[in-house]
Amino acid sequence: MQRAELDVLAAAVGLALALALFPLRFLSSQIFIVTLPVILGVACLLYLAAARGTGTTNGLPTVTPWVSRLLSAGVFLGLAVMVALAVLQGKRTILFMDVGGVIGVILLLQILLSPDEELRPAVYLAQLLAYSFVVRFAALYTAPGYIGIDIWSHTTFVESILQTGSLSALNDIKYYASPLFHLLAAAATNLLDLSLRNGLYLSLGVVMPLAPLFVYGTTRLLIPVRWSLAAGALYAMGDQVIRWGIHLIPTSLGLLFFLACLYCLVRITHASERWRDFGLLVLFSSAVILTHQISSFIMLVLLFSGLLAQVLLRFNFFSAEPNPLSFIGGGSNPVNLGGLVVFNLGLIVFTWSLTPYKGETFLETVLNYLYINLFNAGFLSGVSGSGGSTGASGTAGSAGQTFLSQVSTYVTEAGFLLLIFAAVLGCLTVLKRSRATQTTYTILGAIVAMLFVVLGLPLFGIESFVPGRWIAFLYALLAIVGALGFRHLANRTSLKIVGVVLLLFVLVYPNVMIMSNDGAMDNPAFPDQHERLSYTEQELAAVETFGTVRPTGRGGEIYTDLPYGTVWERTNAYPAEPLPAEGGRPVPQGITAHREYQSEGASYFPNEQDVTQNLNPTKTEVCPPTTNHVYANGEVTVCTLPGS
């Protein structure tokens, strides 16, 4: 084993595993089961081809300086066009996303192909941050209200804090011991003397587009500037990263603190061991714990990976042989992270033990859920036969998949799959002992653990860890190690191979990411397949007006589609329930709300088996002529059955 090349051995094992997993596509058509064996096999084959080379090549070709400057001008011109489109069209339309995809392609090509003398980090980072701001704020300020589901609950809590001047609004919820997000929103609203919406957007909303800087800075500690910029660009364009930049909730703030922890950890294990960096890591890791439970658990996975890498170093897995493609700085001397892990684990257990949640402490509830899920787990029990990702509201589509729904699923997941492809190359690259350090093994271990939570556990029906919330955190690690992999491929394979791989990646990745349902919650590119999680002025006016005109004290609930009912419920406007359906048609209840969107876009109703279906009912089906129409504003009609 001491002389075996672990990277080549791992690539061979990965190729064999891909061949073994390939027949699973005949058991389920779920997208990850169908595609991951292919992605793993192709990545391992490419790495084995690169491993045959013993020397370095000249890397990627470069364009002339004037072409590089022309591309820079094109990026800023395209961003101006995107701003104009958002203002004129009043939302992020398909045309907006098409232009954004093209700008993303130009930005990546410019980073990869510009000559060294034109590769000025400040200019490229300015372009990257401008792109991030335009994509996110075009969504935030064209939507009349908030975007997403959970944000309506959190802003309600913040409003209560502002009204009472205390944290009493959080006494009975799971953010009792994790109030940093709500304190930030309340403080920004007061200090800036703005509405809560503008206060949130101009505080956390402004900071979220800066998140790629952490990824760039972390990668820059490992490899040269070109590939560090590429890693930052890959992260900035990620659909899940865009998602938490427009759906501003504690997950968003937790993501920022996690990226800061990642940067500090890499500085400690790779670049320095200064007490200042340790202090910052303790500060940011504590901030994660006081912000969001899931984010703190993800951060703990990262630290545990660093501790495991420290242990592996004791077994002489690494050698000091020189390598022309080794990373900037770094060494094989391990940094002791045991005390840090114990501190964070203790703080997590302490805060979770104080936090009330569903009649118990948060810690007890999580352990109970995990026990129940483990007891009921079974292979492929969490995967439907036609597999695709569910909507953001947690609802599932109707049985069977149409061609359009399959296209929507593949567009939504294609960017994630491409990042996994790049990360496989990168993980194999860092397995080579002459390149392996505590830093690289920390990142590798965290990727394996997080992919197991995101893709592995759901196959057994275990989703206690809310895997959808992990993906944006995982993207940072995938982008960093993916840049390492592409750099290795560019320096070890022929121009034909690396040119085809990178060209296909660059042409596809920005376009599918910006079109993904996860990054286009405000106005999905496939409106018939994924619910819109922003609301029109009339839809929001109905919530506010009807809740005032008919006080909730009169009893009853209002029945409407998912996700519209969540706004009524989470703003405390009116108790809401999903409108049930029988035989594929909605059944009017005591108080029923119809909105035009129900007949046009993806809206969901539970059937007799309590499975939500995407229906397109007409207004007369939801509010028949026999009902009393008690409210209407042109888009929303509220009707009641006689006697209600």
Distances (CA, A) of 183 to 284, 372, 377: 16, 34, 39
| pLDDT attached to residue 160 | 94
Alpha helical stretches, state H, 391-494 = 403-431, 438-451, 471-492
* Secondary structure, 3-state, 476-528: HHHHHHHHHHHHHHHHHCCHHHHHHHHHHHHHHHHHHHHHCHHHCCCCCCCCC
Provide the residue type at 102 as one letter: V
359 contacts 5 by C-beta, under 8 angstroms:
no
pLDDT of residue 392: 38
pLDDT of residue 515: 95
Strand partners, 592: 559, 639
Count of H-run helices and E-run strands, the chain: 24, 11
d(CA 42, CA 581): 45
Instruction: Name the helix (H) or strand (E) containing 582.
Output: strand 581-582
Torsion of CA 100, 106, 109, 111, to 10 degrees: -90
Three-state secondary structure string covering 334-374: CCCCHHHHHHHHHHHHHHHHHCEECCEEHHHHHHHHHHHHH
How many other β-carbons are positioned within 10 Å of the β-carbon of residue 57? 13
Residue 5: per-residue pLDDT = 78
CA distance 198 to 185: 10
Task: Decide if 236 contacts 192 (C-beta within 8 A).
Answer: no
C-alpha–C-alpha distance, residues 299 and 305, integer Å: 10
What distance in Å separates the CA atoms of residue 29 and residue 37, rounded to the nearest whole number? 13
Alpha-carbon separation of residue 203 from 63, 90, 197, 253, 284 (angstroms): 39, 23, 10, 11, 18
Backbone angles phi, psi at 491, to 5 degrees: -100, -5
Whether the Cβ atoms of residue 7 and residue 429 lie closer than 8 Å to each other: yes
| pTM confidence score | 0.93
DSSP 631: E
Tell me the two tokens of residue 568: 């009524």
pLDDT at residue 389, rounded to an integer: 43
State both tokens at 300: 């703990």
Q: What is the mean pLDDT of each run of 10 residues along the chain (644 residues)?
A: 71 95 86 94 93 66 91 96 96 96 97 91 95 97 95 96 91 91 96 95 97 96 94 97 97 97 93 84 97 96 94 67 55 81 95 88 85 70 48 41 84 96 95 82 95 89 87 98 94 88 96 95 92 96 88 76 95 93 92 94 91 92 94 94 80
Give the per-residue pLDDT at 271.
Answer: 75
* Strand pairing category for 558-560 and 591-595: parallel
CA distance 516 to 511: 9
Q: What does the block give as tokens for 299? A: 């951060």
Contact between residue 60 and residue 498 where contact means Cβ atoms under 8 Å apart: yes
Could you tell me where the DSSP H helices lie in 516-612? 537-549, 564-570
What gap in Å lies between CA 240 and CA 467, rounded to an integer? Answer: 12
Q: What span, in angstroms and rounded, lies between the C-alpha atoms of 3 and 563?
A: 58
Do residues 238 and 473 make contact, with C-beta atoms less than 8 angstroms apart? no
| Integer Cα distance of 219 and 443 in angstroms | 11
In this prediction, residue 398 carries a pLDDT of 41
Residue 391: per-residue pLDDT: 40
pLDDT of residue 369: 81
What pLDDT score does 535 carry?
96
